[in-house]
Amino acid sequence: MTFHQVLQEHPGAAKVLAGFNLGCVGCMGAANETLEQGAMAHGIDVNEIVQALNDAPTE
């Protein structure tokens, strides 16, 4: 799933991603970059991001 898809489907995702210092909302790569690709590029375990997104309240 791309960052753009996550942000469209889950309104609270921007806050979660910001907690990982991922400014995906304004990133040009968000439309094409998957969570895994972005996590790897930033040295973050993608599983931590996915867990945080799953734990986040839906808005």
Expressed as residue numbers, the domain containing 39 is 3-55
Please state the domain count of the chain: 1
Given a contact cutoff of 8 angstroms between Cβ atoms, the answer to whether 2 and 34 are in contact is yes
For the chain of 59 residues, list the mean pLDDT of each consecutive stretch of 10: 88 89 73 88 93 85
Task: Give residue 59's pLDDT.
Answer: 61
Task: Give residue 20's pLDDT.
Answer: 92
CATH number, domain containing residue 30 = 1.10.3910.10
- Mention every residue, 6+ apart, whose C-beta is less than 8 A from residue 45: 39
